[in-house]
Amino acid sequence: MRTIKIKTASAEYPVYVGSGLLKDLYRKLPKQRRIFVLTSPEIWGLWSKRFLASFPPNAQPVTLFLPPGEQQKRMAQVERLATELSDAGADRGSILIAFGGGIVGDLGGFLAAIYMRGMDYVQIPSTLLAQVDSSVGGKTGVNLTTGKNLVGSFHHPLAVYADVDLLQTLPERELRAGLFESIKAGVIRDAKLFRFMERHRPEVLGRDTQALEHVIAASIRMKAEVVGLDERESGLRMILNFGHTLGHAIEAVTHYRKLLHGEAIAWGMIAAVHLAKARKTVTPEEAARISAVIHSYGPLPPFRASAQKLVEATGRDKKNRFGVRRFILPVGIGDSQVIEDVTDAELFSASQWMLNQARKA
């Protein structure tokens, strides 16, 4: 097991990466506190026996369920689940375990942040995307009809358990979607991780335990370093949104039904790399190399959208400040920067180019 420390101005907690972490879960939780679990019916059906095996008969957790799908990541579900917590007697001394993918983790963290003005919670991410990205860093939230994650809070977990065993039942498409986030980590700040994924694609996609642990741990270390330097996304942390400005726009205009989150981010990265090449922050060779690695972890599903609607959707991005659009571009491989002068024309051109690629996929 690998242990990675997250240390920010307001919190410090461990992220555990390894196999068989569920069997020791109860022993590592604070004792004499009521435990509640938020999960999805699918995850609970696969893993409930192993999850509950570590809990003694007199300390079995209360289980809450969130239906699957991005459309469930809404305030209505938060209110329903908060009411269920209240009905079951949860108080500020209770602990909520978010056991599932990124949607469960984001909504569960937000629920913990606001229930009785804050309760402790633990993240047990069941997807690769959640393990390498959304479970770490304290960002929680839900969607509005106008955009993704527009309502939320910073609320760090007590701990994160990234159990690689959970990935063995992950559908192939979900695995690949998560790997796009690790490619992102390599492009923006960790050239060694990028090279590892470039050279060890067969082992990673083959779910080799050591290869997956390496990718997950490296991705988390990179994010831990960035979050430690900029907890509240006032500057450096924005680089973690490489590919997300257009990726979130793609999700919004396709009503969250066409692509998985990681797939939308991959298309967003491809558009951003095209823009970076036009601005000469990367060489044509570097742009081709980044795009090739992204596509090699595909296939990326095709989709159709309007470039104009994508540009309009980026106007509601959370990174924007005072009406200024902020966009993340790679600077070579392993470095990146926040750009504040990307024009609508540039973004339209990159979006149109990306859409042409998406139609051919």
The model's confidence at residue 32, banded by pLDDT at 50, 70 and 90, is: confident
Give the alpha-carbon dihedral of 140, 143, 144, 150, to 10 degrees: 40
- For 228-256, how does the pLDDT look when each residue is reduced to its tens digit (9 = 90+)? 999 998 899 999 999 999 999 999 999 88
- Residue 139 a catalytic site member: yes
Percentage of the chain exceeding pLDDT 70: 98
- Residue 274 a catalytic site member: no
Catalytic residue among 156, 214, 221, 241: 241
Cβ-contact 94, 36 below 8 angstroms: yes
Catalytic residue among 139, 148, 155, 176: 139
- Residue 255 a catalytic site member: no
Cβ-contact 286, 332 below 8 angstroms: yes
- For 192-205, how does the pLDDT look when each residue is reduced to its tens digit (9 = 90+)? 999 999 999 999 99
The whole-angstrom distance between residue 194's C-alpha and the CA centroid of its chain comes to: 18
* pLDDT for position 320: 56
Burial of 230: CB neighbours in 10 Å, binned 0-12, 13-18, 19+: middle
* pLDDT for position 331: 96
In the predicted model, what is the mean pLDDT of residues 126-155?
94
Cβ-contact 75, 142 below 8 angstroms: yes
Query: Domain 172-360's class?
Result: mainly alpha
Catalytic residue among 174, 181, 231, 263: 181
- Residue 181 a catalytic site member: yes
Q: What is the pTM of this model?
A: 0.92
- Is domain 2-169 in CATH 3.40.50.300, yes or no? no
In the predicted model, what is the mean pLDDT of residues 126-141?
96
Q: Which of 203-212, 308-317, 320-329 has the highest mean pLDDT?
A: 203-212
Residues 6+ apart with CB under 8 A from 177: 128, 129, 260, 261, 262, 263, 266
- What gap in Å lies between CA 106 and CA 143, rounded to an integer? 10
CB count, 10 Å around CB of 132?
A: 29
- What gap in Å lies between CA 55 and CA 134, rounded to an integer? 26
CATH topology identical between 2-169 and 172-360? no
Is residue 35 within a helix (H) or strand (E), and if so which, with residue range?
strand 35-39
* pLDDT for position 209: 93
**Whether residue 335 has pLDDT greater than 80:** yes
Catalytic residue among 174, 231, 233, 286: 233
* pLDDT for position 80: 98
All structural domains of the chain with their residue ranges: 2-169, 172-360
- Residue 241 a catalytic site member: yes
- For 94-130, how does the pLDDT look when each residue is reduced to its tens digit (9 = 90+)? 999 999 999 999 999 999 999 999 999 999 999 999 9
**Whether residue 31 has pLDDT greater than 90:** no
